[in-house]
Amino acid sequence: MRIPRDVRAGSPSLDRVGLWILHSQLPAAELRKVEMAPLEWPVLLDTLSVRRSQAGHVAWFDTFTGLCPSYFAWAEYSRGDLTGTERYGAHSDWRKDHPGGPRPADLAVPEAPGEVTETVVIPGRI
């Protein structure tokens, strides 16, 4: 957050009032807005499927619109050592302008780690 110069260099009372407004009132008001906001999923071009468990998740696109696709993301959460594992569904030789499209057969979506507790499908616009 950028603090205006006159608040930093002003009189002690202005400093206290200015900092109180900047650090106490505005962030709290924004936090209340976030808490009260309805849950909204992002608007995606393609349908995204997600399977989650206590141990991790896998999310994937069966079709990807755009360039340099990553068709899936797989993650196993850390077990207390902060070293979780991740894998992505893209080929290392794809250039930045590699076209999307249907997921290639050699990029099979892996199973989510652990017992799946939630499956979410976020529909795409296309």
Lowest mean pLDDT among 8-22, 51-65, 94-108: 8-22
Report pTM: 0.64
Which two structure tokens, joined as six digits, stand for 77?
Answer: 């959460």
- The residue-averaged pLDDT of 105-117 equals 93
Side-chain half-sphere exposure of 38, counting CA atoms within 13 A = 2
Could you say which DSSP state residue 88 is in?
E
Residue extents of the structural domains in the chain: 5-36, 48-122
Residue 35 has pLDDT above 80, yes or no: no
User: How many other CB atoms are there within 10 angstroms of residue 71's CB atom?
Assistant: 23
Residue with the two structure tokens 């499209």 = 101
- The residue-averaged pLDDT of 44-64 equals 93
Listed as own residue / partner, the contacts of 56-61 with beta carbons closer than 8 Å and 24 or more positions apart are 56/84, 56/112, 56/113, 56/114, 57/112, 58/109, 58/110, 58/111, 58/112, 58/113, 60/89, 60/103, 60/109, 61/103
Residue 108 has pLDDT above 70, yes or no: yes
Instruction: For residue 57, count CB atoms less than 10 angstroms from its CB and return exposed for 0-12, middle for 13-18, buried for 19 or more.
Output: buried
Band (75; pLDDT cuts 50, 70, 90): very high
Are residues 67 and 99 in contact, defined by beta-carbon separation less than 8 angstroms?
yes
- The residue-averaged pLDDT of 110-124 equals 93
